[in-house]
Structure 1
Amino acid sequence: MAYGTVKSSVGGQTSPFAQSSAPSDGQPILRDVEPEHAAEPEPRQSSWPRLKSFYERNFGLLLVFLAQLFGSLMTMATRLLETGFETKFHALQIIFVRMLATAILGSLYMWIKKVPDFPFGNRGVRGLLVLRGSAGFFGLFCSYYALAYINISDATVISFLVPTLTAFICFVALKEPFTLNEALAGIVAFVGVLFIARPTFLFPVPGSPEGGADGEAMLLFMTGRPEGLVPAVPASPAERSVAVICAVLGSFGAATAYSTIRVIGKRAHSLVSVNYFAAVATVGSFLIIMIHPDLEFKVPQNAAQWGLLVAIGVAGFLLQFLLTEGLQREKAGRATNLIYTQMVFALIIERVVWGTVPAGWSLLGSALIIGAAVWVSLQKTKVQALPAKSPVVDEESSLLGTAADRATRSA
């Protein structure tokens, strides 16, 4: 039976309860009376507090995202300087410019913030810090050298080998567990590298003695079409294979550096570790260029080259700073997922700047390597309990799974 307002005949007033027609049992039914004036609804909460809350929850992710963007822009500038002009810059000179800027800006930041043990770090770990810087320098040189012959997307995805290589190095040097799943992930990632390198003994090139005709069309497919801002960079299968080997060695050098970071632990501030990397790379690249008879410092010939050099220095520092700050604010799992946006940036840059699209084999290899890296990270997260906080963070440590987790706050 419906409920409603019923007025009684007494005084013409509305009674709180009024009698209605009785049912078969003869008992009256009491009806609730609706108020004359319903309460007005509460005003809706302003959207600003919700936006502010969303911003605060995801600010760390934003910093990590921006770090990947600056890292991709820095890689683009590096490849343009190595291949895009008549005056080509050697990888060592680019490393010198980038790391000199990182060392200067990083030292100024630590001096202003009064970072503990600045500039040389804890006396007990200085040898390990030098080893970390040397391994990082070796890895960076190999990665930059490879950029002269392979696409940014291929070079980027090969860097995702770092988690598996780090797990293997820690197994050999530190006697940490190396599970069957990690070994299988390593095999899968190695197969992915073969698909990217495409050595001629496994992937004969059409037009070669092993591949028959249409060699020119196949080479164009592998290097891209002239639809970008600058011409695509041709590379022979042999050059490509050597470059991929260098990129893998670069990942091995980075993994060695991160294994050293694991040993150093909380005994050195993150920026002190980064500064050792920058200082060793700056001094090392300068000495090699000065000593090697075939190398010399090239002077930029135009504003574009000057701009790219400046961009490399600034972007390198921003990459380091933003990633450090982002990982200190964000959960490792969410932050690690954003590392793979590098691949998206790389594909966009390749298409816009050089007009290239990775071959199908490269995309398949990329999927295998990224899948293996994610798998290793998930396995590490499940198996190992992690400390709440560690001061050691640098630009690629978020690729390490457990090493990245050490660099972040617990929820």
Structure 2
Amino acid sequence: MKLTLTPGMRFMLLGTFLFSIGSLLIKLAGERVPTMELLFLRGVVGIGFCWVLLRRAGIGMLGTRRWLLFARGSVGFVALFAEFYAIVHLPLADAIVILFTHPAIVALLAWVILGEKIGTKGLMAVATSLTGVVLVCRPGFIFGSSGAALDPLALAVALGGIVMTSIAILVVRTLAKTEHPAVVMFYPPMIITVVSPLFAQGWVMPTPVEWLYILGIALSMNGGQYYMTRGYAIESAARISAVTCLEIVFAAIWGASFLGEIPDAWTIGGGLLIVAGTLVLGQTADLEE
């Protein structure tokens, strides 16, 4: 049986692969370069990337719904900081598995805030994904002395980042009805570039190798966002979910190959539950469209 990838799935696969490369480079660069500095430099390149896209499209950079765009950029800044911090301070596979729970939180928030239907099947899928997070995090109040030896602050930041990412996605869904994708992409790097220096401490001069890492972070993550945005525009929810789940696989491969991080049974089991829940949510959304 021949496997055929639709154009939307190809965009998502490329975007997912680029995001996984960016995550690996964040981990490598973050060993010495502070998180806020990485964010600032990513933001500068991101502004240039969006400017090129908007210049080619002949569209203004600021859009029409500017207050909502500003809110999206602010939430995106917090979410991106949490993502960078979690990737730097947690094993790569664990960080990506936890951060990947956002589809479940998006479904819950859309149900509670927007009144979107989720159904019993959708609620069970959300519960499955959240159970997977519990297995990866293994909080001490549930698992006792056998709980995970993960940085508790990094875990808290990652979990907060999931909520902020989910809010950002809901805002993007609203903005997508009236704004060009590159306009929506422009606001987070703009906010990052302005705000991150205000919170930065202990900036360092990157080495030549670290500059390559930083350039790779900016290019891969902005490119990944661009291709995934194109994929979301033309592909069904179920297929999108199936392709994006590969980011967890890529993270495990990069962690084992370049960082010597071998996922344990808890991470693998939790990751499988999260993937299963995400796939079911995707199929549920696809049936409702």
Structure 1 and Structure 2 fold alike (TM over 0.5): yes
The answer to whether the aligner puts 1:187 opposite 2:135 as a matched pair is no
List alignment gaps of at least 5 residues for structure 2. Answer: none
Structure (1 or 2) with the greater helix fraction: 2
In terms of mean alpha carbon deviation, does 251-260 or 320-329 score higher? 320-329
> How many angstroms apart in 1 are the aligned matches of 2:172 and 2:232?
16
277, 297, 300: which one aligns with 2:188: 277
- Pairwise CA distance, 1:251: 1.3
- CA deviation digits over 1:172-220, x for unaligned, max 9? 322323433333323222221111112234334xxxxx46xxxxxxxxx
1:326 & 1:184 partners in 2: Cα distance? 27
8 A Cα contact 2:248 2:271, kept in partner: no
What amino acid is the match of 2:220? Answer: A
Structure 1 residue 80 displacement after superposition:
1.0
Match of 2:245 in 1: 340
Contact 1:197–1:241, Cα closer than 8 Å, also in 2: no
Instruction: Find the structure with the greater CA-based Rg.
Output: 1
Letter in 2 for 1:297: W
Query: Normalising by structure 1, what TM-score?
Result: 0.65
Residue 120 of structure 1 pairs with residue 62 of structure 2: yes
Which amino acid counterpart does residue 140 of structure 2 have in structure 1?
Answer: T
Moved more, 260-269 or 172-181: 172-181
What SS does structure 1 have at the residue aligned with 2:140? coil
Q: Does 1:262 align with 2:206?
A: no
Report the counterpart of residue 297 of structure 1 in structure 2: 203
Partners of 1:267 and 1:358 lie apart in 2 by 42
Matches within 5 A, 1:35-74: 58-74=6-22
Q: Take 2:192 and 2:27, find their aligned partners in 1: how far apart are those partners?
A: 19
Aligned pairs for 1:103-142 (under 5 A) are 103-115=47-59, 118-122=60-64, 125-142=65-82
Q: Deviations over 1:355-396 (max 9, x none)?
A: 2211101111111111111111211222x23xxxxxxxxxxx
Q: Distance in 2 between matches of 1:184 and 1:62?
A: 29
Shift of 1:321: 2.4
1:350 Cα offset (Å):
0.8
Q: Deviations over 1:296-352 (max 9, x none)?
A: 32111x321111111112212221222233444545543432111111211110111
> CA shift at 1:131, angstroms?
1.2
Q: How many residues align?
A: 287
Q: Taking structure 1 as reference, are residues 284 and 97 closer, same or farther at Cα in structure 2, changes over 3 Å only?
A: same
- Tell me the residue number matched to 1:399: none
Equivalent position SS for 1:267: coil
TM-score by length of structure 2 reads: 0.90
Structure 1 pair 373–336 and aligned structure 2 pair: CA distance change class (3 A) = closer
Letter paired with 2:166: A
* 1:78 aligned counterpart, secondary structure: helix
Q: State the partner residue of 2:140.
A: 200
CA distance in 1, matches of 2:163, 2:96: 14
Find the aligned partners of 1:336 and 1:195 in 2 and give their Cα distance: 21
Residue among 366, 383, 386 paired with 2:271? 366
- Of 155, 163, 176, the residue aligned with 1:252 is 163
Alpha carbons 2:236, 2:286 under 8 Å: kept: no
Asked whether the 8 Å contact 1:199–1:241 carries over to 2, the reply is: no
Where does residue 24 of structure 2 map in the other structure? Answer: 76
Cα separation, 2, equivalents of 1:341 and 1:352: 16
| 1:98-127 Cα shifts (integer Å, max 9, x gaps) | 122111111122112213xx11101xx211
CA RMSD of superposed structures (Å): 2.3
- 1:172 is matched with 112
Residue of structure 2 equivalent to 1:95: 39
Matched residues in 1 for 2:111 and 2:21: separation? 34
CA 1:186–1:322: 2 relative to 1, 3 Å? closer
How far, CA to CA, are the matches of 2:130 and 2:223 in structure 1? 32
C-alpha separation between the residues in 1 aligned to 2:232 and 2:127? 29
Amino acid at match of 1:349: W
Deviations 1:32-65 (A, max 9, x none): xxxxxxxxxxxxxxxxxxxxxx99x744433322
